[in-house]
Amino acid sequence: MKFPDGFLWGGAVAAHQLEGAWNVDGRGPSICDVLTGGAHGVAREITDGVVPGKNYPNQRGIDYYHTFREDDALFQEMGFKCFRTSISWSRIFPNGDDTEPNEAGLKFYEELFKDYRAKGMEPVVTLSHFEMPLHLAKMGGFTNRKAIDCFVRFATTVMERYKDLVKYWLTFNEVNNQMEMHTAIFPYTNSGIIPNPNDTKHDVEQKVWQSIHNEFVASALVVRKGHAINPNFQIGCMLAMVPIYPATCNPNDVMHAEILMRDRLLFGDVYVYGEYPHYLLNRWQREGFHIAMNPGDLEIIKEGTVDFISISYYMSAAVQANKVDEWDGHGLPGQVRNPYIEATDWGWQIDPVGLRYVLCTLYERYRKPIFIVENGIGMYESPDANGYVEDNARISYLREHIAQVGRAIALDGVEVMGYTVWGCIDVISFGTGEMKKRYGMIYVDADDYGKGTYCRTRKKSFYWYRNVIASNGEDL
């Protein structure tokens, strides 16, 4: 099945997972620089500053800061039409509230985006991908309204600087992940909310809801400023899409799944329609949340709606209403194993049809173009005796998901802008901080503790994806 002309095939990464060079050329510490390494079933620790003896994998990344030209040449060899990355906020404003930007940081991204363009790749740039300067987090993150001004200053600075290099911008990455409010890593990385052991459940939720409002205001202001800087900018939101299925056709399961899914979709409702849905306003009142809003906030949100929706998609989930009482605070209340689909070694349920389902749901709800900016599979891998990684399971995963994207376009009429494979080169896993959870089509010789040669090797999927792009999706 051939994809539309101009379809943006590519790969996706985030600065904090691959750049390294965490304290080089004036960069300040970010929130991910004090996240320790974890593992499946072992949560990453948020430390108070850098603690000697702890393992901080994001400080290393894969040293892309120094190797980007060579790595970009590999992406070019695969035929990428676009490349998604983020700008490390603390590389531009080391503390977040600085009045003047760090020129060395600005120069780095200028060279980076020029290199993408020279190699035929359209930059797709995320402004906030879990990279808030640590200093701002210590000021309360987005619970503090000052973060709005700091983010808008940062975004305006880079949009102005790269107005002729970057067309596609995303504001906040997977902003709806923080609806899992009691898994500390999500409010921390989305909004810079440092866990406080004295906070009650209601305290945590109040902080998250206030942060979400402030992020909506910040995003809308950036959309308006971006369009003023360059009317040709395309500025989108970025949602983590995990379709939530009822485990049975019991009406209680169906209603429970619907309520949970609203938590993921309310962000799209605000980004696209520019207003809070009634069910959310009702919830705030019913549960006693008081959201501080300045005069004009709602008008700003109304005027700063997005041009397109970008999404990540890895898995689906199933829930059962009568299992809610057994919930331990992790994942979704009432979440159960879906017996009809397989799962990865990390328990992520593999559901290609769910991607088509998500595309249809979003397009019917919003009628906006959709950009799939993350899709991929993390696997344990090691090269064979010849140094080759034959990652057939990854090829199968990507093939089946891309086929469902093709069906959504051809059969359902969904307008899909492009598709970027997450972690097209092995990077530090966000959720666990591991290197051994590998997503890439390029193998990086490094372990969870930074040991290795860091040499890059093309996997079997590298050549497969190159053929997919060359045939515009016809050769899967």
Dist CA 4 CA 140 (whole Å): 45
pLDDT in tens, 16-63: 999 999 999 999 999 999 999 999 889 999 999 999 999 999 999 999
Alpha helices per DSSP H over 325-475: 352-366, 392-410, 460-470
Q: Determine the pLDDT at residue 2.
A: 85
Indicate the Cα dihedral angle 201, 207, 209, 213, nearest 10°: 180
Say how far apart CA 217 and CA 125 lie, in whole Å. Answer: 20
> Between β-strands 308-312 and 335-336, what pairing exists: parallel, antiparallel or unpaired?
unpaired
- State the Cα–Cα distance between residues 136 and 144, nearest whole angstrom: 9
8 A C-beta contact, residue 422 and residue 374 = yes
DSSP state of 152: H
Res. 329: pLDDT tops 80: no
Q: Are the beta carbons of 393 and 438 closer than 8 angstroms?
A: no
Does the structure show a pLDDT above 90 at 404?
A: yes
pLDDT of 330 higher than 80? no
pLDDT tens, position by position, 125-146:
999 999 999 999 999 999 999 9
Residue 199 is predicted with a pLDDT of: 96
Question: Considering the chain, what is the average pLDDT of its residues?
Answer: 97
pLDDT reported for residue 316: 97
- Would you say residue 474 has pLDDT above 80? yes
Q: Among residues 180, 205, 215, 374, which one is catalytic?
A: 374
Please, what are the domains in the chain? 8-470 (3.20.20.80)
Sign of the Cα torsion 373, 127, 60, 146 reads negative
Does the model's pTM come out above 0.75? yes
Give the model's pLDDT for residue 446: 97
Q: Are strands 416-422 and 8-12 parallel, antiparallel or unpaired?
A: parallel
Q: What is the pLDDT of residue 52?
A: 95
CA distance 410 to 136: 46
How far is C-alpha 470 from the chain's CA centre? 26
pLDDT tens for residues 370-387? 999 999 999 999 999 999
In the block, residue with structure tokens 């970025």: 238
Quote the pLDDT of residue 1. 80
How far apart (Å, rounded) are the C-alpha atoms in residues 425 and 412?
32
Give the contacts of 331 (CB within 8 A, at least 6 positions apart): 180, 317
Over range 198-206, report the average pLDDT: 96
| CA-based radius of gyration for the chain | 21
pLDDT per position as a tens digit, 96-130: 999 999 999 999 999 999 999 999 999 999 999 99
Active site residue 374: yes
| 3-state SS, residue 99 | coil
The closest alpha carbon to 121, from 63, 67, 172, 73, belongs to 73
Stretch 288-304: mean pLDDT: 98
Alpha helices of 288-438 — where are they, by DSSP H?
Answer: 297-303, 352-366, 392-410
The alpha carbon of residue 401 and the mean position of all alpha carbons in its chain are separated, in whole angstroms, by 18
**What residues form DSSP beta bridges with 82?**
10, 122
Q: So what's the pLDDT on residue 295?
A: 98
